[in-house]
């Protein structure tokens, strides 16, 4: 993780999500008033093949209780250790210390912490917002074979788009959620060469999710292949590309060779339910802004349970 101090404020919101946390057994379930609980928020990512690194810079988080004043949490330099960052619910009295994360290092079930067991008043919260920097020089940017490219947000995002879905922090309880910053759906290069960030984010209860993981036969990974596994909600789904038209994958998983020479994949943070998984060699050709003729093989049904690793080999 790199930290820089030069930034300008823009907000990226957890948008387009359908998550009824209280009804789905969230780790902080049950509306409660009085007392305090804690909230943890982590970030993970799906892979993209167009880049070597994708850095996103966060300078804080906003949380809106059902009633009462909005809570703004800022990342500030630790007054006791300038190499560390602390979370403050007021303006920084030390220099601002935004968190810059390479999201491409967070695939396959890996995460980085945005908020660690932060104490909040118990009760119901209406929405949560990530505050992300995209207007400066190399704050949120992509690195590929041609160099560094600043990421920009489409017009209108400056005022903020928020997740209008609630969650509960129970008195004496701990709510723990993960944001899947789905880069394959979020990054697009325009015809003029501009690198656009159109955030597609998935918020899940970290405790109540499972994983699909397995191996891929080397015979499937042919010359020129960019291998990936696509995961679709529901059984017997006919696999399709990422284009914001159903069926769109819930998530994708990069296929890579481990230190034993075996091709493996991990699709993590899946809510319990029925899914279709499929393998493709054309992940790099999948542009989220267009309908692409992506070929798939080995489509199969899998069932995901909470806190369980479901194996499936291609």
Quick count: other Cβ atoms within 10 Å of Cβ 199?
23
Q: What pLDDT sits at residue 82?
A: 93
Same domain, 281 and 214: yes
Alpha-carbon gap, residue 180 to 19, rounded angstroms: 13
Same domain, 84 and 182: yes
Is 229 domain-assigned? yes
Is 253 domain-assigned? yes
Q: How many helices (H) and strands (E) does the chain have?
A: 1, 23
- Cα torsion angle, 244, 245, 251, 253, sign: negative
| Strand (E) or helix (H) holding 253 | strand 251-254
Q: What pLDDT sits at residue 6?
A: 37
Same domain, 42 and 170: yes
Same domain, 156 and 301: no
Q: What are phi and psi of 172, to 5 degrees?
A: 75, 5
Domain that holds residue 164: 9-205
pTM here is 0.82
Which of 185, 205, 225 is a domain's end point?
205
Is 4 domain-assigned? no
Same domain, 64 and 166: yes
Alpha-carbon gap, residue 266 to 110, rounded angstroms: 10
DSSP secondary structure code for residue 82 in this structure: E
Look at residues 181, 176, 177 and name the one whose alpha carbon lies nearest to residue 104: 181
Is 1 domain-assigned? no
Alpha-carbon gap, residue 190 to 193, rounded angstroms: 5
| Burial (CB count within 10 angstroms: exposed 0-12, middle 13-18, buried 19+), residue 81 | exposed
Is 105 domain-assigned? yes
Same domain, 248 and 270: yes
CATH number at residue 272: 2.60.40
| Residue 247: cis peptide before it, omega within 30 degrees of 0 | yes
Q: For 147-262, list the strands marked E by DSSP.
A: 147-152, 167-169, 174-182, 187-189, 195-197, 201-205, 210-216, 228-233, 251-254, 256-257
Which of 150, 184, 205 is a domain's end point?
205
Same domain, 104 and 65: yes
Same domain, 198 and 256: no
Is 2 domain-assigned? no
Is 291 domain-assigned? yes
Same domain, 268 and 161: no
Along the chain (314 residues), what's the average pLDDT of each consecutive run of 10 residues?
38 37 40 80 88 92 90 96 94 94 92 95 90 85 93 61 74 93 84 84 89 97 95 98 93 94 96 98 92 95 97 98
Look at residues 265, 294, 266, 296 and name the one whose alpha carbon lies nearest to residue 278: 296
Same domain, 132 and 14: yes
| Strand (E) or helix (H) holding 174 | strand 174-182
Count of the separate structural domains present in the chain: 2
Which of 172, 205, 238 is a domain's end point?
205
Same domain, 161 and 263: no
Q: What are phi and psi of 128, to 5 degrees?
A: -140, 145
């Amino acid at each position: 993780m790199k930290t820089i101090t030069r930034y300008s404020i823009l907000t990226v919101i957890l948008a387009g999500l359908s998550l009824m946390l209280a009804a789905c057994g969230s780790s902080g379930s049950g509306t409660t008033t009085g007392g305090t609980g804690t909230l943890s928020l982590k970030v993970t990512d799906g892979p993209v093949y167009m880049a070597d690194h994708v850095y996103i810079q966060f300078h804080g988080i906003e949380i809106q209780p059902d009633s009462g004043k909005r809570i703004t949490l800022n990342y500030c330099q630790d007054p006791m250790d300038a190499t560390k960052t602390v979370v403050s619910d007021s303006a920084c009295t030390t220099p601002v210390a935004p968190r810059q994360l390479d999201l491409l290092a967070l695939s396959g079930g890996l995460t980085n912490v945005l908020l660690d067991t932060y104490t909040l008043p118990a009760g119901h919260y209406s929405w949560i917002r990530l505050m992300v920097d995209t207007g400066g020089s190399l704050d949120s940017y992509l690195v590929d074979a041609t160099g560094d490219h600043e990421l920009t947000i489409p017009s209108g995002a400056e005022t903020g788009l928020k997740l209008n879905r609630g969650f509960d922090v129970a008195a004496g309880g701990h709510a723990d959620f993960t944001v899947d910053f789905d880069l394959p759906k979020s990054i697009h290069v325009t015809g003029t060469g501009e690198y656009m960030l159109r955030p597609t984010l998935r918020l899940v209860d970290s405790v109540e999710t499972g994983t699909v993981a397995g191996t891929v036969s080397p015979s499937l990974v042919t010359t020129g292949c960019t291998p990936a596994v696509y995961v679709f909600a529901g059984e017997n789904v006919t696999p399709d590309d990422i284009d914001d038209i159903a069926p769109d994958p819930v998530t994708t998983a990069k296929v890579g060779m481990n230190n034993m020479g075996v091709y493996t994949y991990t699709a993590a943070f899946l809510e319990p339910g029925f899914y279709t998984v499929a393998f493709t060699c054309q992940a790099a050709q999948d542009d989220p802004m267009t309908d692409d003729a992506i070929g798939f093989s080995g489509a199969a049904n899998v069932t995901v349970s909470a806190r369980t690793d479901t194996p499936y080999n291609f």
